[in-house]
Amino acid sequence: MAARVVDLQAIQGPTLAAAGDKARLRTVVLPAVRGQITDVNGVPLATTVAAKNITVDQTLVKDPATEAASLASVLGGDASVYATRMTGQRRFVYLAKAVTPEVWAKVAALALPGVFSEVSSTRVYPAGSVAANVVGYVSADGHGGSGLEYGFDQQLAGTAGSQSFQSSARGTEIPTADSSGTDSVPGMSVRLTLDRDIQWMAQDAIAKQVKAAQADSGTVVVMDPRTGQIYALATVPTFDPNKPADAAQSDIRNRAVTDVFEPGSTSKVMTMSAVIEEGKANPLTRITVPPVLVTPYKTFHDDVPHGTLRLTLNGVLARSSNIGTILASRMIGGEKLYSYLKKFGIGESTGLHFPGESKGFVPSPSNWSATSFGTIAFGQGLSLTAVQAASVYATIANDGLRVAPTLVAGYTAPDGTYQPAAAPSTVRVVSRATAVQVRSMLESVVSDDGTAPKAAIAGYRVAGKTGTANRIDDSCHCYRGYTASFIGMAPADAPRLVIAVFLQNPRNGHFGGQLAAPVFKKVMSFSLEHLRIPPTGTVHPRIPVFW
């Protein structure tokens, strides 16, 4: 006995003690609290709440079947599945993840040997589908799966910590034993420029119109042209980020920045701006528009058959004449038109840095076909995103100065320090004088003489443009269906808001003035009231449409 004591205590003592310490030592990860994503007013769109992961040390379990049955009585589920996970020699196995602290308290009261918890958290989206395609979601592995959750994943995630301690036979910490570890560092929070209420209204309005028009999808962009801040970025269909597994992948992407399409007549504002800026015409310039425009390679028509029309340049835009737009664009030529399209940002990144963002496309004149000049002039043969299209009109609304669109207002560090986002870049595209003339022409579009009287708002001066573009169908790589759109601004003489509305492949009608303009009116009316933007009280100086 004496020899055995000497052997165990003196000879093998250090080794056995170390083995005992190792057997009792547990190290758990202390996850960092993920930063919030809020709207411009600090309303949470994505936040983190406390949770517990339930784990098991299989070597400490005495009766797997009995313990599993007790666990199932609290957690629900199949007891046999829990029994399988509780059987074996593994020191660490998950039984359940992200349960509420209240549920863990019930499990802890069972005092099951080998069953314990670790600190965790779960991501929740209080607004549900509101702004879901912008915010995105967090996947099961704790990383951003889409949207800004993915784009800002590293900054939002923070840095996890750890804690090592001596545990009892039941896996609980021995209070008097030594412990060590490092604290976790919370993630950064991101404040967006989105306004939750405007975002909700935009989503609700476009969802109802998509259903009524039997369209494939719809998008609404609401911008402040002076700052580039986006108040709403709505797309339908959408999804619930609290249940991302239930959503189709096509409904998760943010169509407003990822999907490109040919703009059609809404693009004519760039052509008109270029012609006026180059001093080749003004709103009163007279243009004789024939019933058709015959060229050696193609005969161009307007959407509605007509005889010879005597339109002013203002009338060409108000009546959305393709033929008149081609005749006006000939005053400056293809090279000059292309240079203005690029200055307006077509084919360039918007600066949003949103995951999966598309740049759009406009071919250089060296790659134009014999018909490209005419079609590009009135909005076919080039492609852009909804945000790019809204930015074009925001440039005209902001007196010709293009301000890069932005979705992020600022960042809040873990210590509570708020840092505003860097000021967006700006580019002078046309002069203030040109922008003022174009805005006045766009007001004619919303009058009874134009194509969008349904966009008019009582008491406010409204300017905008309809679009009814042939739509490229990827399934056949051909034109099939339409993109119906309206982009406008208010108050027209001192614009505070620009709103762009798009419906893809509507089957119950297809004209932008009939389908998109009413959505614009609804969202703009709400936004003006919500932001307390009063009418200017001025009257639009009527510009002749005919001569």
Secondary structure (3-state) at 18: helix
Residue 114 Rama label (left phi>0; alpha psi -120 to 50; beta): left
347-373 burial: b if 16+ Cβ within 10 Å, else e: bbebbbebbebbbbebeebeebeeebb
The residue length of the chain stands at 547
Q: Where are the strands (E) in 429-534, listed by range?
A: 463-473, 478-490, 497-504
Cα–Cα distances (Å) from 258 to 443, 477, 488, in that order, read 30, 18, 22
> Is 497 in contact with 490 (CB distance < 8 Å)?
yes
Q: Which residues contact 500 (CB under 8 A, 6 or more apart)?
A: 219, 220, 221, 223, 386, 389, 390, 393, 485, 486, 487
Catalytic residue among 217, 265, 372, 440: 265
C-alpha torsion 131→133→136→140, nearest 10? 120
DSSP 186-230: PPPEEEES--HHHHHHHHHHHHHHHHHHT-SEEEEEEE-TTT-BE
Give the relative orientation of helices 386-397 and 432-445 as an angle to the nearest 10 degrees.
110
C-alpha torsion 435→438→439→444, nearest 10? 170
Torsion sign (Cα): 260, 263, 269, 274 = positive
Give the relative orientation of helices 268-277 and 333-343 as an angle to the nearest 10 degrees.
110
Q: What is the arrangement of strands in the sheet containing 161-166, beginning at the earlier edge strand?
A: 25-30, 161-166, 179-182
C-alpha distance across the termini of the chain, in Å? 121
Q: Which residues contact 134 (CB under 8 A, 6 or more apart)?
A: 147, 148, 192, 194, 233, 254, 407
Amino acid present at 529:
E
Q: Is 267 a catalytic residue?
A: no
> Is 544 in contact with 312 (CB distance < 8 Å)?
yes
Q: Which residues are catalytic?
A: 265
